[in-house]
Amino acid sequence: MSERFTGSFTQQEPIPDEGIAAALEVMRHGRLHRYNLADGEAGEVALLECEFAAFTGARYCLAVASGGYALGCALRALGVGAGDRVLTNAFTLAPVPGAIASVGAVPVFVEVTEDLVIDLAHLERAIAQSGARVLLLSHMRGHICDMEALMALCDGAGVRVIEDCAHTMGARWGDVPSGRHGVIGCYSTQTYKHMNSGEGGLLVSDDAEVMARAILLSGSYMLYDRHLAAPGPEAFEGLRLDVPNISGRMDNLRAAILRPQLRALPGQVARWNALYAVVEEGLRDLPGLRLIARPGAEAFVGSSFQFLLPDWPAGRVRDLLARCAARGVELKWFGAEDPVGFTSRYAHWRYAAPPELPQTDRVLAGLIDMRLPLTFSAEDCALIARIIRAEVGAAWQAG
């Protein structure tokens, strides 16, 4: 009888007991709003910001309501507005071009390579052709490009970089944490990310004016002196009456849940990477399937797994997904004609008037994606790899 996996690809681990206790304490005292504090109280949000700034090595940090809000706030903090052109990966998720559209700007999509990172040669051409001066760089599904080369290109062209680190919290390129190469790093704490508060986001920066703008935008009500990971009051003086309030604060309840998770994150990263290694080894040297190369400088977080089925016809891909699903393995495909769940792609975002990008189309036509929640064991991942291997092998032989 064929093996079958019976686990859930969307089941997260429970919130740590320390986080539950901290959340209960916030609910008992009722001061959920970040600025509703007792005398001498710092507040969970302000403490989370300090701890996340220290974790990333940033001077400043701001906690907000969602990762998507963090992206839009970062764009506004850099002065991006209606009609401006913003460079971004063609391979990303919908909140990234959505954040660009939310400020009235126009996405300029850049091709993806077979290693699932932004194509630097096409980026160079897109900078010259578009005149864009901001790149919203998505480290999509945790794949990090050569950040030294990217920053040299962008710095030389006068392009400021916002890093979307929704899938790279806890990752590094070389010795630099993800989010610390550009002027702003943005992170998500949505349920399927590396820390779970249901929804939530964080921004980090070393730029005092940029962070002052972001704090005012988030809805500080002139209470920015209650931020502990913020620039001094002088950074706000010339801005406080000119920057609009576009409320998107994080609350103390979510911050209380997140603080213990942040302390546990390095250990969680090691667990994800161990699961990733099991799947990778189980699919190695399989005809018809291409694994994604991981550069030596990239210290990634293996919370999801991707592989390519190069030049497979669409019908064969759909049949493979159905056969794996029948055996309990849930795979997502970025080459489908219509968006399904989280797997929309640049051609689906008609509001952005996407161009044709043949290289990206070819890559996404064979791109398969799979979550690796920490509720999986190494044995689960070995079983999943065996199922995928058997079904890919059968489909490949059938031709």
DSSP result, 5-59: --S-TTPPPPPPHHHHHHHHHHHHH---STT---TT---HHHHHHHHHHHHHT-S
Among the CATH numbers 3.40.50.2000, 3.30.1180.20, 3.40.718.10, 3.40.640.10, which is that of 17-260?
3.40.640.10
pLDDT at 303: 98
CB 269 within 8 A of CB 141: no
Q: Give residue 256's pLDDT.
A: 98
Query: Amino acid letter at 307?
Result: F
Nearest to 117 by CA among 62, 60, 168: 168
Structure tokens at 244: 């609009």
pLDDT in tens, 356-376: 999 999 999 999 999 999 999
* Nearest alpha-carbon partner for 140 in 113, 104, 105, 100: 113
CB contact at 8 A, 9 and 376:
no
Give the whole-angstrom CA distance, residue 118 versus residue 90: 8
- The answer to whether the CB of 190 falls within 8 A of the CB of 199 is yes
- Least Cα distance to 67 among 140, 164, 153 occurs for 164
E-strand ranges in 139-226 read: 160-164, 172-173, 176-177, 184-188, 201-205
Any idea where the domains of the chain sit in the sequence? 17-260, 265-398
d(C-alpha 218, C-alpha 90), whole Å: 28
C-alpha torsion 119→194→201→82, nearest 10:
20
* Alpha helix stretches (DSSP H) within the chain: 17-29, 44-56, 67-77, 95-102, 120-130, 147-157, 208-219, 234-237, 252-283, 314-326, 358-364, 378-398
State pTM to two decimals.
0.97
For position 2, what pLDDT does the model report? 87
DSSP state of 176: E
* Residue in the block written with tokens 């309840």: 253
> Cα dihedral sign for 260, 93, 90, 352?
negative
The Cα–Cα gap between 383 and 2 comes to 11
Residue 246 gets the label, from left (phi > 0), alpha (psi -120 to 50) or beta, of beta
CA-wise closest residue to 391 among 345, 326, 332: 326
Q: How do the pLDDT tens digits run along the chain, 399 residues long? A: 589 999 999 999 999 999 999 999 999 999 999 999 999 999 999 999 999 999 999 999 999 999 999 999 999 999 999 999 999 999 999 999 999 999 999 999 999 999 999 999 999 999 999 999 999 999 999 999 999 999 999 999 999 999 999 999 999 999 999 999 999 999 999 999 999 999 999 999 999 999 999 999 999 999 999 999 999 999 999 999 999 999 999 999 999 999 999 999 999 999 999 999 999 999 999 999 999 999 999 999 999 999 999 999 999 999 999 999 999 999 999 999 888 888 889 999 999 999 999 999 999 999 999 999 999 999 999 999 999 999 999 988 887
Compute the Cα dihedral for 75, 81, 82, 87 and give only its sign: negative
* Burial profile 206-216: b = 16 or more Cβ within 10 angstroms, e = fewer: ebbebbbbbbb
Q: How many CA atoms, within 13 angstroms, populate the side-chain half-sphere of residue 145? A: 27
For residue range 116-174, list pLDDT tens digits in order.
Answer: 999 999 999 999 999 999 999 999 999 999 999 999 999 999 999 999 999 999 999 99
* Fold of the 265-398 domain: Aspartate Aminotransferase, domain 1 (3.90.1150)
